[in-house]
Structure 1
Amino acid sequence: MAGSDAAPKIGAPEFANALLNADAPSPPGLIGPDGKAAPKRFAVYRNNVIVSLCEALGQTYPAVRTLLGDDYFNALARAFVTDHPPSSPVLIWYGGAFADFVEAFPPLQDYPYLADVARAEWAWLQAYHAEDAAPLDPAVLGSIDPEKLASARFVRHPATSRVSSEWPLADLLRANRFSPGDGAHIDLGAAQSLLITRPDLDVDVVPLRPGGAAFVDALLSGAGLGEAAGLGADASAEFSLSDCLSDCLGAGAFKGLETN
């Protein structure tokens, strides 16, 4: 039976809090092989864990990192890690709440586009790791009875999502992720919506045309083609059904088509 001087048990919540909070003391009762308290050993382990999580965030959000610079991004990542312990053992899925954290982070209130850039990068990651599926062949539409085309419903490809913003998302991603340094002519007043897909091996990021976001949202929600076209036209007088549908099919946004 353990004596009165036995080391106290360390609960998982207490250990997790101490592990991710650089200002927290090492857990009570933590001892080394010599049976003595080992705060330095724990500090080294804690630093390695925090650095690994911060590096994972940097890999998931390279555009945000570029926009902020390495030093500021690392400080932001450490603040996020302290408040958001991993909920999955799979490191690639760490950071799903990062965009909301960035949006609410007081020092970044003068940079409101950062949160939407993070949302687009998270959607990119989800598309990259989504289930494989053959995209819908556009030629299928030619075989459908024209009277049934308006009620036809498109089946979402597993990698497809839509991200909208009041900011120029496509330009910000291009300049800070896909073509670094190409940001001299970004107009921050130009709102952009993105269709993100992965029909084959590579993720595609497609800027949507006027009315395209409403059109895509309707199709991805299960609306028929006619209803979706109406919503796109309501959203913008410049909406073009043929152009927006062509963009979606060309990007492999769907994996099937259902008709009544």
Structure 2
Amino acid sequence: MSTTDQTLFRAAMMDPAAPVPASLTDGAGRPAGRRFSVYRNNVAVSLTEALIEGFPACYAVLGDEMFRGMAGVYLRQHPPASPLMARFGEALPGFLDAAPQVAGMRWIGDLARLEYALRQSYHAADAEALSPETLAAIPPEDLGSTRFALPPSRRVLRSEWPVLSIWHRALDPTAPQAQPGAEDVLILRPDYDPIPHLLSPGDIGFLDALAGGAPLAEAAEAATEQTPDHDPTPILTLLMQNQALLPAQEA
């Protein structure tokens, strides 16, 4: 199949209104119209199901009919660009930001970002964290000058919306109703499944400094520059409990 034929095939595959490429024939040399239509429909259904599986909270809040309808538009605008299905849906947050159908749900794009970040965390590389025994063996007087690395599976999302609360509520109707306000989220993967955590003001400054190679005391100072009364103890405890403190990389 020539490059031109491949382009036509790809365009026709994602758009049910597009004509069947003339170069496509069945085993008897006849136009493959009906067979191609069946195949095209199967591909669209499979990709839609992949979006539903990958963005369950968005699916829950939008409902089956709206989500599937928007998925059909999304597939035509953003067909899979990688053979890795884990990357499919990467453009969905931006698509939802601009979609007129959800103009009254301005938080929906960030909800999709959270779900995609959870998937990214799931597929990220493994890393061996410092053991509790190793951490406990650090002399208290040396702790402030100690540097740590953070795992490849961590993800941070800053949102002007209560995105984590919306996510919990979408997946569990018994969860508390989301209250107005911004929420920052840290995703950690202590075992196999990523877990999102709500951050306190100043925590992101602490995490950014730590990830940038700053020793613990300097990371704490960076957090207080953003939030003067920031206490690093809760976020540090969270990192320890979720096996998210790694040996610092050697320069």
Normalising to structure 1: TM-score of the pair? 0.87
Contact 1:196 1:204 in 2 (8 A): yes
Contact 1:148 1:259 in 2 (8 A): no
- Is residue 242 of structure 2 the alignment partner of residue 242 of structure 1? no
Aligned-pair distance for 1:121?
0.8
Q: Structure 2 CA distance, aligned partners of 1:120 and 1:82? A: 23
Aligned-pair distance for 1:227?
2.7
Aligned-pair distance for 1:183?
4.8
Q: Structure 1 CA distance, aligned partners of 2:25 and 2:37? A: 13
Aligned-pair distance for 1:226?
2.5
- Is residue 21 of structure 2 the alignment partner of residue 30 of structure 1? no
Equivalent position amino acid for 1:106 in 2: P
Q: Structure 2 CA distance, aligned partners of 1:245 and 1:148? A: 16
- Is residue 105 of structure 2 the alignment partner of residue 111 of structure 1? yes
Deviations 1:17-71 (A, max 9, x none): 1101122111122222232212221111111111111111111100011111111
Residue of structure 2 aligned with 1:231, choices 216, 222, 232 = 222
* Comparing 142-151 and 165-174, the one that deviates more: 142-151
- Is residue 206 of structure 2 the alignment partner of residue 215 of structure 1? yes
Percent of paired sites with the same residue: 35
Q: Structure 1 CA distance, aligned partners of 2:130 and 2:16? A: 50
- Give runs of aligned pairs for residues 8-23 of structure 1, distance below 5 A: 11-23=5-17
Q: Sort the Cα spacing of 1:249 and 1:111 in 2 relative to 1 into closer, same or farther, 3 A.
A: same
| 2:243 counterpart residue number | 252
| 1:91 counterpart residue number | 85
Contact 1:10 1:27 in 2 (8 A): no
- Give runs of aligned pairs for residues 27-66 of structure 1, distance below 5 A: 27-66=21-60
* Comparing 100-109 and 13-22, the one that deviates more: 100-109
Q: Structure 1 CA distance, aligned partners of 2:106 and 2:209? A: 27
CA RMSD of aligned residues (A): 2.4
Aligned-pair distance for 1:75?
1.3
- Is residue 162 of structure 2 the alignment partner of residue 168 of structure 1? yes
Aligned-pair distance for 1:151?
4.0
Q: Sort the Cα spacing of 1:43 and 1:241 in 2 relative to 1 into closer, same or farther, 3 A.
A: same
Deviations 1:155-210 (A, max 9, x none): 12121111111111221111113xx21355211x2211111111212322111122
Contact 1:162 1:216 in 2 (8 A): no
Residue of structure 1 aligned with 2:178, choices 170, 183, 186 = 186
Deviations 1:119-169 (A, max 9, x none): 111111122222233333345344445565434322121211111111112
Q: Structure 1 CA distance, aligned partners of 2:98 and 2:114? A: 17
Aligned-pair distance for 1:114?
0.9
Contact 2:202 2:227 in 1 (8 A): yes
Structure 2 gap segments, 5+ residues each: none
Q: Sort the Cα spacing of 1:190 and 1:239 in 2 relative to 1 into closer, same or farther, 3 A.
A: same
Q: Sort the Cα spacing of 1:258 and 1:226 in 2 relative to 1 into closer, same or farther, 3 A.
A: farther
Aligned-pair distance for 1:100?
1.6
Q: Structure 2 CA distance, aligned partners of 1:147 and 1:9? A: 65
Contact 2:5 2:21 in 1 (8 A): no
Structure 1 gap segments, 5+ residues each: 1-6
Q: Structure 2 CA distance, aligned partners of 1:254 and 1:104? A: 38
Contact 2:149 2:248 in 1 (8 A): yes
* Comparing 127-136 and 45-54, the one that deviates more: 127-136
Q: Sort the Cα spacing of 1:149 and 1:9 in 2 relative to 1 into closer, same or farther, 3 A.
A: closer
- Count of aligned pairs between the two proteins: 251
